[in-house]
Structure 1
Amino acid sequence: MIKFGLLWHKISLYASLLWHKISFCGIKFGLKLNISLLWKIWDYCNQATFNEVVYHQRTISSFLKVVFKEVDSNFAKLGTTNNSWFDYLILRRIGVETRAAPPPSMIEVHWWPPVGPWMKVNTDGSALGAPGSIAAGRVYRDHRGWVRGCFHFKRGLGFAFETELLAVIYVITIAHHKDWRHLWLEADLAYVVRLLNSHSLDIPWRFLASWKWTLRLLQDLRLQVSHIYREGNNVADLMVNRDCSEGWWPYALDEIKHAVALDMSTYSIIRIKY
């Protein structure tokens, strides 16, 4: 026989495991299955609390086995368990076949300088909320990795993608003004990369006029656009998060010198992708 405290602990344990097991499965089926499971748990607990009904452990285990096997039969290829020995022991105990999640993959991220006469600019933006206070930072570097200019600005309320878009407009305008005709723009936001590669006009209307003017400036430039992971965009990230006043500087600021030196070394960052 099994008492209420042990009953609740055992059912809660299995229910938690079941939630992890179907977390990668279909939403509709998972929601329906969890509602049925929670209703049954509630019924068991009420019977044990108010009607002093005692249940055999075999009864609880049989019910949970049926629920788990229903998950297995509907999602034989999609469902996975957590990679933990605790999950494995529970599933083996109730006779359910386990499927471990695939191991994470590792990607080496490194910043590479451009080939002369190209100028490479790394961009980053942030928004403290949605919408929130927005800020952006950009760093221009030549083929030797030397900083040729950097800037930081803050604006009012907005979204993160609007920050990136506004910064790209500034980047291209400055490059055109400095007569840097070969520009390699590297960003960690796929939205900006897609806009520049397609010359799309699918942007917020308040930026449309400035964006059209930017596309006209691009006719005088050779532009290359690429995506970089955030781990390799540390210099631009430091420019975004600086607390000092906004502006343009034709040299490397003290707070980014160390990150610039790391980029020019053989230092790499490992990105773990689950």
Structure 2
Amino acid sequence: MLAFTNLWRCQILASTTTKPSSFLVLRSYRKEPIPVTWEKPRVGWTKLNFDGSSKGKSGKASIGGVIRNHKAEFLLGFAESIGEANSTIAEVTALRRGLEFVLENGWSHVWLEGDAKAIVDVIKKRKQMKKIKCEEVQKHVSHINSIIPKLNDCIVSHVYREGNRAADKFAQLGHQQDEPRIWRYVPPNEVMPIVHEDAEGKIVIRRR
């Protein structure tokens, strides 16, 4: 997790067979499950979780996000269909839209969090902008980079999808919307249980 000030983480398989030792080495470790939780921001901060969704061959994409305060209280959620786009474009569009809502509402101490590690890394390390070949992605990232300096403080981090469930649900709702939707203070019924579970610190196990 990187802070910005006016800028920018075996199970051994028992075997009684006589297979070669090299085979046993390859089969001897099973990745342990990872406990994942959504974390509250610090007092005085708001947290934006964002996500994008792209539907396979159809290429139909949508975005979603949720903003909560240090008490895990729901402040704002959004969902929108953005037409045909790949998952990368959907992710950066979701972050951009979320940051626009942050500015509109005057939240100045903001934690940005998403489950697309490549996008998070690009925002954290501006030098990686040179590696982006897609002009549309470059456009969105440049806009994101122009918004972040307007905030008093900003941190950005990656979280596994299990810790980004509310934003993911909003992104899925986006596929159902004919027009952009915004929810203030009260989340839609589809997201309500997740918001409550996050506030209570529910642990979701990630099976790798």
1:207/1:232 CA distance change after superposition, 3 Å: closer
Gaps of 5+ in 1: 1-82
Tell me the equivalent position of 1:237. 168
Shift of the alpha carbon at 1:131? 6.6
SS in 2 for 1:108: strand
- Name the CA distance, whole Å, in 1 between partners of 2:140 and 2:32: 41
- Name the CA distance, whole Å, in 2 between partners of 1:255 and 1:237: 11
Tell me the equivalent position of 1:215. 145
Q: Which amino acid aligns with 1:260?
A: V
Q: Which amino acid aligns with 2:157?
A: S
Q: Is the Cα contact below 8 Å between 1:130 and 1:159 reproduced in 2? A: no
The counterpart of 1:206, out of the listed 136, 150, 153, is 136
Tell me the equivalent position of 1:263. 198
Q: Is the Cα contact below 8 Å between 2:115 and 2:158 reproduced in 1? A: yes
Instruction: Give the number of the structure whose alpha-carbon radius of gyration is greater.
Output: 1
Q: Which amino acid aligns with 1:263?
A: D
Shift of the alpha carbon at 1:160? 0.5
1:255/1:171 CA distance change after superposition, 3 Å: same
SS in 1 for 2:196: helix
Deviations 1:169-191 (A, max 9, x none): 11112211211111111100011
- Name the CA distance, whole Å, in 2 between partners of 1:228 and 1:207: 21
- Name the CA distance, whole Å, in 1 between partners of 2:57 and 2:67: 28
User: Percent identity among equivalent residues?
Assistant: 24
Gaps of 5+ in 2: 1-12
SS in 2 for 1:225: strand
- Name the CA distance, whole Å, in 2 between partners of 1:217 and 1:146: 24
The structure in which a higher percent of residues are helix is 1
- Give TM-score, length-normalised by structure 1: 0.62
The counterpart of 1:189, out of the listed 116, 120, 132, is 116
Give yes or no for the alignment of 1:156 onto 2:83: yes
- Give TM-score, length-normalised by structure 2: 0.80
The structure in which a higher percent of residues are strand is 2
Instruction: Give the superposed CA RMSD.
Output: 2.3
Shift of the alpha carbon at 1:96? 4.0
Between 1 and 2, higher relative CO (CA 8 Å, sep ≥ 6) is seen in: 2
Deviations 1:26-77 (A, max 9, x none): xxxxxxxxxxxxxxxxxxxxxxxxxxxxxxxxxxxxxxxxxxxxxxxxxxxx
